[in-house]
């Protein structure tokens, strides 16, 4: 893959869709497609060439619920059929597969894709390869988030100096990795937790009528967790100043639901309140575990990835607050615009070596996304609605 001049597409996209990566100098057909099949979602990465009038092409990102894996495989089969006539003679089509589903569904993939070479790749290696690509090659990819700032999203400079760092990958469960360099032996899984996106999804499926994870996130926007959570102020009547606990701090998630001698019914509580409480509970727990591991291993850079986040402002702000609170401001939570497709992207890139970019950009001079918004929860919508393609200096 030729990643010289790679950038994030700024065309208009629907909510929760992942933006294409523009590759203006990739003028050779790419024969591989990649899929990362997790416990809840399957993520696909594939390349299409531009029209004859335009050079280069795009990396596309798509996801399916793993429960509908047949739809996912059918989509891959259609992509392979469409691209078959473009593949040079003697070069076979390849599906790079990673995640647990690469093993679980290997036979199904091979049977549904006759003539396609299905290659399994290590999940953690792909995750790190994908993250490295986005951090070192894609401008306006990584950012911090703080809803109290005038500009809640603060983008990080694209850099090759990214080590050491910690990546907290939040899927159905959570894996925490320490990465000290680009080599195959320079990373390790240092921790994790079973309380992840699958936990939130499962509990909200029991307690609300939401039909999808995106529905659950939308419901939570209108909720007030103080109606179900027991707050510090409910116990002390004010801040607990001696230990730095504000009255608005959660003392016990769902602590107001229990009433002695009363059998509670979930219908007595607002679905939005329940959703907000559970989102805070899971996110706060992940944030605290992430901080403790970063402290133990002396790491300052903490990246959060996985489809759990989905660019959701409440989720990002909760994780950011947890890291900032526990570290006393010494650490920052870092997020990614392609958070859910790190593994699939890494698998895609493993097919052939990456041609390194020349780093001859001046995007900060030519384009600065407008992240000003009166309502911080809509800041990403405002950014993603910007209709502009980022281009390197020599492509003006």
CATH of the domain at 101: 3.30.420.40
Indicate if 95 and 179 belong to the same structural domain: no
> How large is the average pLDDT for residues 79-94?
80
> How large is the average pLDDT for residues 299-304?
95
In a domain? residue 373: no
**CA gap 289, 193 in Å, rounded:** 8
Residue 177 has pLDDT above 70, yes or no: yes
DSSP codes of every residue in 226-256: GGTSEEHHHHHSS-BGGGTB-TTSEEETTTT
Indicate if 278 and 349 belong to the same structural domain: no
Average pLDDT, the chain: 85
Name the nearest CA neighbour of 345 among 129, 56, 73, 75.
129
Domain that holds residue 276: 143-228+269-336
Q: Which is higher by pLDDT, 243 or 164? A: 164
Which of 5-9, 130-134, 334-338 comes out lowest in average pLDDT? 5-9
Indicate if 86 and 42 belong to the same structural domain: yes
Name the nearest CA neighbour of 272 among 212, 219, 215, 202.
219
**pLDDT for the residue numbered 89:** 65
pLDDT above 70 covers a percentage of the chain that reads 86
Other beta carbons within 10 Å of 130: 27
Phi then psi dihedrals of residue 306, to 5 deg: 110, 155
| Band of residue 387 on the pLDDT scale cut at 50, 70, 90 | very low
**pLDDT for the residue numbered 14:** 73
Which of 56-60, 124-128, 266-270 comes out lowest in average pLDDT? 266-270
pLDDT above 90 covers a percentage of the chain that reads 58
In a domain? residue 191: yes
- Number of folded domains that form the chain: 2
Residue 12 has pLDDT above 80, yes or no: no
Name the nearest CA neighbour of 162 among 176, 185, 144, 142.
142
In a domain? residue 320: yes
Q: Which is higher by pLDDT, 298 or 87? A: 298
Q: Which is higher by pLDDT, 154 or 88? A: 154
In a domain? residue 358: no
In a domain? residue 233: no
Q: Which is higher by pLDDT, 259 or 203? A: 203
**pLDDT for the residue numbered 88:** 65
Indicate if 52 and 169 belong to the same structural domain: no
Indicate if 164 and 308 belong to the same structural domain: yes
Residue 374 has pLDDT above 60, yes or no: no
In a domain? residue 391: no
Indicate if 37 and 155 belong to the same structural domain: no
**pLDDT for the residue numbered 133:** 92
Indicate if 320 and 205 belong to the same structural domain: yes
Question: What's 304's DSSP letter?
Answer: E
> How large is the average pLDDT for residues 362-391?
39
DSSP codes of every residue in 79-107: HHHHHGGGSPTT---EEEEESTHHHHTHH
> How large is the average pLDDT for residues 158-173?
92
Indicate if 107 and 192 belong to the same structural domain: no
Indicate if 119 and 178 belong to the same structural domain: no
| Band of residue 238 on the pLDDT scale cut at 50, 70, 90 | confident
Q: Which residues pair with 47 in a beta bridge?
A: 59
Tell the residue number behind the tokens 């790079």, with chain if given: 96
Indicate if 24 and 40 belong to the same structural domain: yes
Q: Which is higher by pLDDT, 382 or 143? A: 143
User: CB burial class (10 A; 0-12, 13-18, 19+) of residue 341?
Assistant: buried
Residue 90 has pLDDT above 70, yes or no: no
Indicate if 163 and 283 belong to the same structural domain: yes
Which of 21-25, 197-201, 383-387 comes out lowest in average pLDDT? 383-387
Indicate if 67 and 30 belong to the same structural domain: yes
Residue 261 has pLDDT above 50, yes or no: yes
In a domain? residue 218: yes
> Which range, 43-52, 125-134, 231-240, 370-379, has the best average confidence (pLDDT)?
125-134
> How large is the average pLDDT for residues 210-216?
82
In a domain? residue 63: yes
> How large is the average pLDDT for residues 29-53?
89
**pLDDT for the residue numbered 311:** 84
Question: What's 38's DSSP letter?
Answer: -
Per-residue pLDDT tens digits for 304-352: 999 888 888 889 999 999 999 889 999 999 999 999 999 999 999 998 6
Residue 66 has pLDDT above 90, yes or no: yes
Which of 68-77, 114-123, 130-139, 208-217 comes out lowest in average pLDDT? 208-217
**pLDDT for the residue numbered 216:** 83
> How large is the average pLDDT for residues 293-313?
93
Residue 150 has pLDDT above 60, yes or no: yes
Question: What's 395's DSSP letter?
Answer: G
């Amino acid at each position: 893959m030729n990643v010289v001049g790679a950038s994030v597409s700024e065309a208009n996209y629907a909510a929760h869709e992942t933006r294409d990566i523009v590759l203006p100098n990739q003028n050779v057909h790419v024969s591989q497609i990649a899929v990362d099949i997790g416990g809840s979602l399957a993520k696909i990465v594939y390349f299409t060439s531009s029209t004859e009038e335009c050079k280069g092409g795009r990396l596309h990102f798509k996801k399916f619920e793993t429960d509908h894996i047949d739809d996912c495989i059918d989509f891959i089969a259609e992509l392979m059929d469409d691209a078959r006539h473009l593949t040079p003679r003697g070069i076979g089509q390849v599906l790079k597969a990673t995640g647990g589903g690469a093993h679980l569904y290997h036979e199904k993939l091979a049977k549904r894709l006759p003539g396609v070479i299905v290659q399994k790749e290590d999940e953690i290696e792909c995750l790190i390869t994908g993250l490295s690509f986005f951090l070192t090659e894609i401008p306006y990819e990584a950012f911090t988030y703080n809803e109290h700032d005038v500009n809640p999203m603060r983008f990080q400079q694209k850099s090759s100096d990214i080590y050491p760092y910690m990546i907290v990958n939040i899927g159905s469960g959570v894996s925490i990795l320490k990465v000290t360099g680009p080599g195959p032996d320079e990373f390790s899984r240092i921790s994790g937790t079973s309380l992840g996106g699958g936990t939130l999804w499962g509990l909200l499926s029991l307690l609300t009528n939401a039909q999808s994870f995106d529905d659950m996130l939308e419901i939570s926007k209108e909720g007030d967790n103080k109606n179900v959570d027991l707050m510090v102020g409910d116990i002390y009547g004010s801040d607990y100043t001696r230990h730095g606990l504000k009255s608005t701090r959660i003392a016990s998630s769902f602590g107001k639901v229990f009433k002695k001698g009363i059998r509670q019914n979930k219908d007595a509580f607002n679905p939005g309140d329940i959703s907000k409480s559970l989102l805070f509970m899971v996110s706060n727990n992940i944030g605290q575990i992430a901080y403790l591991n970063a402290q133990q291993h002396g790491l300052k850079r903490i990246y959060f990835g996985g489809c759990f986040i989905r660019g959701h402002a409440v989720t990002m702000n909760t994780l950011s607050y947890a890291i900032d609170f526990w570290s006393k401001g010494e650490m920052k939570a870092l997020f990614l615009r392609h958070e859910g497709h790190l593994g699939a992207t890494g698998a895609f890139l493993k097919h052939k070596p990456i041609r390194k970019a020349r780093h001859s950009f001046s995007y900060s001079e030519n384009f600065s996304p407008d992240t000003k918004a009166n309502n911080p929860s809509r800041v990403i919508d405002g950014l993603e609605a910007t209709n502009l393609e980022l281009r390197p200096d020599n492509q003006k």
